[in-house]
C-alpha cells in the first residue's frame, strides 16, 4: 500500500483534492491510501516520519502562516523519502516549475483555479504514478546514489559503464547509459562502496563488470557495451583474468 499525503492550507481546496483522490483510488482500485491530509507542513512531516514506504505527496506551494513553504517542505520530504512522488498544487502559474523539478524531482505542477481542470490533472498524476510503480515492480533495480554538489541523483547500477578520475582533484566522471555526470568524490572510496561488481582496472578507471563487452588484449583495453574503451594496467589485467576465471 502506498501512502498518499496532502498539505494544503485552504480547507476547501484540501477537501476537494482529498475527495477527488479518494474517488479515483476507489474507482481505479489503486493500491494507495490517503493517510494524511494536513493543513500545516509540520503535521505532514510528523506523519511521514512514521512511514517507511515510498509515498505520494500533493503539496501547496504557498502555505500561509507556516514556517516553510512548499519548496522547503519538499526538501524536508526528500530527506525522509528520497524517491517519493511530489506533486505541487499552486495558485500561481508563473512559479518556476523547472526549478522544482530540478531540485526536488517533482512530478507535476498543477495550477489551481479551474476546478475541473485541476481534478483531471490530479487523476492523470495518479495514473502516471501507478504506471511507473507497476513498471518498476517487476525489476527491483539497485541504485547508486551520488551527491552532485547540492542535489542527490539515483542512477540504476546496471546503467553505469564506468567511473573515471579527471585531471581536476576530487572530481569523478561517471559514464552511464544516459550520459556523463561530473561530481565530487574519490575513486578509492567508490571502489570500497560498490564492491566486487566493479573492477579497478586502472588507477583512473573503475569499471562495471556487467558492462564489459570484451577485452582487447592487443590494445590493452576493456571494451564496454557502449563501444567505449578503457585502458587497463598490469594490475588491472590480473584482476580481469581472475574475474573471467571465476565468472559463472
Q: What strands, in cross-sheet order, belong to the sheet with 85-90?
A: 32-38, 2-7, 56-60, 85-90, 108-111
Q: Between 124 and 193, name the residue whose CB sits nearer to another protein.
A: 193
Closest CA to 206 of 148, 246, 185: 185
Query: Please, what is the minimum distance in Å from the beta carbon of residue 115 to another protein?
Result: 11
3-state secondary structure of 71: helix
Q: Between 96 and 127, name the residue whose CB sits nearer to another protein.
A: 96
Residue whose entry in the numeric block shows the C-alpha cell 498518499 = 4
CA distances (Å), 21 to each of 35, 77, 226, 245, in order? 12, 20, 43, 55
Q: Does 195 bind another protein (CB under 8 A)?
A: no
Binding to another protein (CB under 8 A) within 120-179 occurs at 146-151, 166-172, 175-176, 178-179
Q: Between 6 and 146, name the residue whose CB sits nearer to another protein.
A: 146
Closest CA to 190 of 177, 178, 180, 204: 204
Q: Does 185 bind another protein (CB under 8 A)?
A: yes
The contacts of residue 145 (CB under 8 Å, 6+ apart) are 82, 152, 153, 154, 155
Query: Please, what is the minimum distance in Å from the beta carbon of residue 104 to another protein?
Result: 11
Q: Does 72 bind another protein (CB under 8 A)?
A: no
DSSP code for 220: T
Size of the site for another protein (CB under 8 A): 39
Query: Please, what is the minimum distance in Å from the beta carbon of residue 181 to another protein?
Result: 4
Q: Does 91 bind another protein (CB under 8 A)?
A: no
Q: Between 227 and 248, name the residue whose CB sits nearer to another protein.
A: 227
Query: Please, what is the minimum distance in Å from the beta carbon of residue 26 to another protein?
Result: 29
Burial class for 238, CB neighbours closer than 10 Å (0-12, 13-18, 19+): exposed
Q: Between 23 and 170, name the residue whose CB sits nearer to another protein.
A: 170
Q: Print the binding letters for residues 220-239 with another protein: x by CB under 8 A, - otherwise.
A: ------xxx-----------
Cell of 83: 524517491
Site residues, another protein (CB under 8 A): 93-94, 96-99, 102-103, 114, 146-151, 166-172, 175-176, 178-186, 189-190, 193, 226-228
Amino acid at each position: 500500500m502506498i501512502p498518499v499525503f496532502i498539505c494544503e492550507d485552504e480547507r476547501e481546496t484540501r477537501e476537494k483534492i482529498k475527495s477527488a483522490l479518494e474517488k479515483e483510488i476507489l474507482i481505479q482500485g489503486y493500491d494507495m491510501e490517503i493517510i494524511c491530509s494536513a493543513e500545516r507542513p509540520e503535521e505532514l512531516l510528523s506523519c511521514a516520519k512514521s512511514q517507511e514506504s515510498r509515498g505520494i505527496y500533493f503539496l501547496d506551494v504557498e502555505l500561509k502562516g507556516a514556517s516553510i513553504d512548499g519548496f522547503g517542505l519538499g526538501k524536508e520530504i526528500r530527506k525522509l523519502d528520497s524517491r517519493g512522488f511530489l506533486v505541487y498544487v499552486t495558485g500561481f502559474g508563473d512559479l518556476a516549475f523547472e526549478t522544482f523539478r530540478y531540485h526536488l524531482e517533482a512530478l507535476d505542477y498543477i495550477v489551481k483555479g479551474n476546478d475541473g481542470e485541476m481534478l483531471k490533472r490530479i487523476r492523470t498524476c495518479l495514473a502516471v504514478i501507478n504506471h511507473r510503480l507497476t513498471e518498476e515492480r517487476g525489476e527491483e533495480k539497485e541504485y547508486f546514489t551520488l551527491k552532485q554538489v547540492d542535489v542527490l541523483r539515483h542512477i540504476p547500477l546496471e546503467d553505469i559503464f564506468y567511473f573515471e578520475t579527471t585531471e581536476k582533484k576530487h572530481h569523478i566522471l561517471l559514464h552511464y547509459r544516459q550520459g556523463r555526470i561530473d561530481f565530487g568524490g574519490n575513486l578509492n572510496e567508490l571502489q570500497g562502496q560498490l564492491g566486487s561488481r566493479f573492477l579497478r582496472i586502472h588507477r583512473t578507471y573503475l569499471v562495471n563488470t556487467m558492462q564489459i563487452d570484451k577485452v582487447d588484449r592487443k590494445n590493452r583495453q576493456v571494451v564496454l557495451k557502449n563501444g567505449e574503451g578503457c585502458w587497463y594496467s598490469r594490475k588491472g589485467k590480473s584482476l580481469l583474468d581472475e574475474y573471467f576465471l571465476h565468472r559463472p
